[in-house]
Amino acid sequence: MDDMNDMRMVERAVDDKDLKITAKGVDVFYGDTHAIKGVDVEILDKTVTAFIGPSGCGKSTFLRCLNRMNDTIDICRVTGQILLDSEDIYHQKVDPVQLRAKVGMVFQKPNPFPKSIYDNVAYGPRIHGLARNKAELDEIVETSLRRAALWEEAKDRLDQPGTGLSGGQQQRLCIARAVATSPEVLLMDEPCSALDPIATAQVEELIDELRARFSVVIVTHSMQQAARVSQKTAFFHLGELVEFGETSQIFTNPKDPRTESYITGRIG
């Protein structure tokens, strides 16, 4: 395993990519708690960006700002500016529903709907009206399942409930489900924390492949995982963005002492 990781580190040459998301001075409050303090970050297209940090540091909270999932929590308040392709996603004209079609999300625990595998994947395209007819929908479902590397395992049981799959398969189904709406950005909130090592490896491999089409942002508590899958890494601590840069630089040559303590296992 270690060998493989080193290989990837080397291969990871970051070239100039388009800017996908820009966050400027983002603050988040839960009631009276100041959860995120003045975060600035730039997320590139066709890149995997990892958010790392000790638990409770605000990395998940910040991730949920990027597709306005925090809107569903009553007491949560977000200030500052987050631009998606230079459009402010918190602008009053923006419909979060439309935004979330562009910025998909995969959650910590696999959460397939209690429907068939097919209906799970078709859910997004159906509500967004992406398919004109059944044939198109079938095609979207197949493509998405293929992109999530689940087609071979699932093609014969599309009408069976998604909850009947194994944990790793369920998570890949959730990724397929998110991919099916053709998002531009894919947010992943600790997608492997509920999976066993083999399933984790499969999902990580998949993330690397998804990079070809999407901008991927992944929150992880595992530094190894961040090192394995990401090109950019942001380190959060106590609601602040401490350091943001090339993954290789963060892990080999951190600038901030706090990052260094965390990487070497002294915080967290």
Partner 1 sequence: MPLIWIILAVLALGAAGYVLGRKRAVSSAGGDIRILHSLPNYYGMNVFLSAVVPALLVLVVWLLVQPAVIQRQVTQLIPDNEVMNSGELSLIMSDVRRVADGLDSAVEQGALTREEARMIRTEFTNIRDTLASIGVALGDDVNADVLNAAQRYRSLQNTGNTVMAAAVLILAALGLGYAYSRTHKDFRARNTVERAVLAILILASTIAILTTVGIVLSMVLETRDFFHLYPAREFFFGTEWIPSFEGGSHLGLLPLLWGTLYITFIALLVAVPVGLFSAIYLAEYAGRRMRGMAKPMIEVLAGIPTIVYGLFALITVGPMLRDYFAEPLGFGTSSSSVMTAGIVMGIMLIPFVSSLSDDIINAVPQSLRDGSYGLGATQSETVKQVILPAALPGIVGAILLAASRAIGETMIVVMGAGAAATLSLNPFEAMTTVTVKIVGQLTGDTDFSSPEALVAFALGLTLFAITLGLNILALYIVRKYREQYE
Partner 2 sequence: MTDASAPVPPKSSLYATSDHVKRRNRTEARFRAYGFAAIAIGILALILLVISIVSNGASAFRQTYITIPVELTEARLDPAGNRDPAEMARVTTFGYAPLLAQALQQHLQGQGISMEGVTPRDLMAMISQEAPAQVRALVLANPEIVGQTVTMEMLAGGRIDGYFKGRVTLETAERDSNVSPAQLLLADRMVEAGMIETRFNWAFITGPDASDQRPEAAGLGIAILGSFYMMIVVLVLALPIGVAASIYLEEFAPQNRFTDAIEVNISNLAAVPSIVFGILGLAIFINFAGLPQSAPIVGGLVLTLMTLPTIIIATRASLRAVPPSIRDAALGLGASKMQSVFHHVLPLAAPGILTGTIIGLAQALGETAPLLLIGMVAFVREFPDAPPEGFFDPTSALPVQVYNWTQRSDPAFVERASGATIVLLVFLLFMNAMAVILRRRFERRW
Residues near partner 2 (CB under 8 A): 84-85, 87, 89, 91, 93-95, 97-99, 102, 127-131, 136, 139-140, 142-144, 146-147, 149, 182, 209
Distance between CA atoms of 186 and 105, rounded to whole angstroms?
6
Distance between CA atoms of 170 and 109, rounded to whole angstroms?
9
Nearer to partner 2, 144 or 170 (CB): 144
The residue from 74, 93, 134, 152 that contacts partner 1 (CB under 8 A) is 74
Nearer to partner 1, 7 or 127 (CB): 127
Q: Is 98 in the site for partner 1 (CB under 8 A)?
A: yes
Nearer to partner 1, 52 or 66 (CB): 66
Q: 103-106 and 87-88 as β-strands: parallel, antiparallel, unpaired? A: unpaired
| CB 237, min distance to partner 1, A | 25
Q: Which does 174 bind (CB under 5 to 8 A by kind): partner 2, partner 1, none?
A: partner 1
Distance between CA atoms of 227 and 254, rounded to whole angstroms?
13
State whether the Cα torsion 130-169-68-80 is positive or negative.
negative
**For the chain, first and last CA: distance in Å?**
24
The residue from 30, 81, 90, 111 that contacts partner 1 (CB under 8 A) is 111
State whether the Cα torsion 41-100-91-19 is positive or negative.
positive
Nearer to partner 2, 98 or 253 (CB): 98
| Phi/psi at 18 (5° precision) | -70, 150
Distance between CA atoms of 268 and 58, rounded to whole angstroms?
13
The residue from 29, 90, 123, 151 that contacts partner 1 (CB under 8 A) is 123
Q: Which does 11 bind (CB under 5 to 8 A by kind): partner 1, partner 2, none?
A: none
- Output the six-digit token pair for 66: 């990027």
Distance between CA atoms of 160 and 154, rounded to whole angstroms?
9
Contacts with partner 1 by CB under 8 A lie at: 67, 69, 72, 74, 97-101, 104-107, 109, 111-115, 123-124, 127-128, 174, 177-178, 181, 187
